[in-house]
Structure 1
């Protein structure tokens, strides 16, 4: 299904209707469903996948761990036989309704509560350099007319000071020569989306509101052509980075395509916590070391120091004295 309005993070919607007879093998039914769903996800990784039907005694929750089950009310007597799965979280809220006609199953009203990605993650505004042949020629002229000996004479043999001065001067020339523009990056925009594609999307919306079907078809054809062109340009860009051994750029592009996010770094202690660690591990090198009982690390574990870390930092007991061993 490809409705007119669909959140941009989904390419289209796939609906899977399931019926498991009461006499069927539940494990075999879950295996068949998993095989079909895996094939669909491989073919359409960015699609919204919806699974609904009468599952009876089968429960595919363990087979589909990445899916969320949204039916929380009873659908027949005091049992929940009709289930609804989706491959996105916090998408629906279920409410029970009376049966339709003489049906023995209740109706389930699924209210959409999904919050689109563009609303969950605000747009990022950043400033980028607009490089062109004219800007490069102007920057070359700026560097050609620069008296570089002035920098070396002013700083002498201080290589660090000379490096900082030259770097600041080059950045100053770039800021005054290369024009900049402010762009807004939306979280749901694909990496191959260009300003031309965004303009066609607005034109498609305007043609739909006006009711001109011929113009809408024409804009839709042009939009598909521009999307194919944008994807092809992005593919050639990735291939060029790979040929130039630009592994950093290739990895950044792969993370953008796959939606990979860096894991959040674990919180670290403050400066006092670091000083306590230094005091504990360097206590044998100090002439007048404080008693071990006064060390904060030997006190019972607090909120800033987990119990496991506290046990690892506790000193080991001294070895038992052996009368046959005489140290030299």
Structure 2
């Protein structure tokens, strides 16, 4: 249970209340639940919670659930501005997260505020109106249906059934060619460039600097292609760019240690994988 109790002074409301989010411990360990932000104003109450469940499709780093309540008397434009600024900040800080916004929106509408989000509640939530909504930053993620209200509530419950297909299921495996660099290969390439007569390039192009630069670049690339060995690798669509064979081996070793309840071995494998991932990410950034 994650609570954001109402502040009567900030909300200017006489009654108590607030927001609450229940997380099934079979889906996510309570230790992996983090409150990202709480906001309480006369126009909106907001609770943002970060979740790292036991399983998510690999294309998502974690999940962020934003719960909101917009009172009937609220200024809808100001409430939407708060949601927009909060969600934009969360997406900037966590670009790989699966993000949802749900709650009682009353008269506020977000189509123009949340570009790139889809609203999934298609059934009425109170009489013939749709007051409770659920937005997500992924298309084709849920289907909705109405259930009877809980207790004495005047709002229907909404059942959201996941329909999302992971990227690995609807995108084919691709093949790309990678270079196999080593100290020996670097020395060979360096020797090739050292014995090159660079004066021949300047004699042919004279004052044409751009032509000279293009020719030298093409020559270096040709030397690289003839010296550096390559191989073809399969790239799964849900893999990050920095995932390679060595990192996969460490991750599998970590899984085997977990199944064997080897905490020491699992910790060593985890630290090794994190170190290799950082090195691989730095290498990709250097290439870009």
Q: Distance in 2 between matches of 1:218 and 1:66?
A: 40
Normalising to structure 2: TM-score of the pair?
Answer: 0.63
The answer for the alignment partner of 2:248 in structure 1 is 198
The answer for the alignment partner of 1:28 in structure 2 is 78
Q: Which sits farther off after the overlay, 66-75 or 213-222?
A: 213-222
Alignment of 1:164-203 (within 5 A): 181-203=231-253
The answer for the alignment partner of 1:118 in structure 2 is 168
1:5 Cα deviation after fit: 1.6
The answer for the alignment partner of 1:223 in structure 2 is 273
1:28 Cα deviation after fit: 1.0
Deviations 1:73-128 (A, max 9, x none): 11111111110000110111112112222222111111111111122211113455
Gap runs ≥5 in structure 2? 1-50, 193-221
RMSD after superposition? 3.0
1:132 Cα deviation after fit: 4.8
Q: Distance in 2 between matches of 1:198 and 1:53?
A: 40
The answer for the alignment partner of 1:54 in structure 2 is 104
Q: 1:178 to 1:19 in 2, by over 3 A?
A: closer
The answer for the alignment partner of 1:151 in structure 2 is none
Query: What SS does the corresponding residue of 1:111 show, helix, strand or coil?
Result: strand
Q: Which sits farther off after the overlay, 6-15 or 177-186?
A: 177-186
**Structure that is richer in strand per residue:** 2
The answer for the alignment partner of 1:72 in structure 2 is 122
Deviations 1:49-87 (A, max 9, x none): 110101011111221121000011111111111100001
Query: What SS does the corresponding residue of 1:38 show, helix, strand or coil?
Result: helix
Q: 1:197 to 1:133 in 2, by over 3 A?
A: closer
Query: What SS does the corresponding residue of 1:103 show, helix, strand or coil?
Result: coil
Alignment of 1:1-328 (within 5 A): 1-126=51-176, 128=178, 130=180, 132=182, 181-213=231-263, 215-235=265-285, 237-238=286-287, 250=288
Q: Distance in 2 between matches of 1:231 and 1:44?
A: 17
Gap runs ≥5 in structure 1? 142-169, 239-249, 251-328
Q: Distance in 2 between matches of 1:12 and 1:61?
A: 24
Aligned residues: 208
Q: Distance in 1 between matches of 2:176 and 2:283?
A: 23
Deviations 1:197-245 (A, max 9, x none): 111222233344445555444433333232222222333x23xxxxxxx
Q: Distance in 2 between matches of 1:105 and 1:217?
A: 47
Q: Which sits farther off after the overlay, 17-26 or 57-66?
A: 57-66
Query: What SS does the corresponding residue of 1:51 show, helix, strand or coil?
Result: strand
Q: 1:77 to 1:207 in 2, by over 3 A?
A: farther
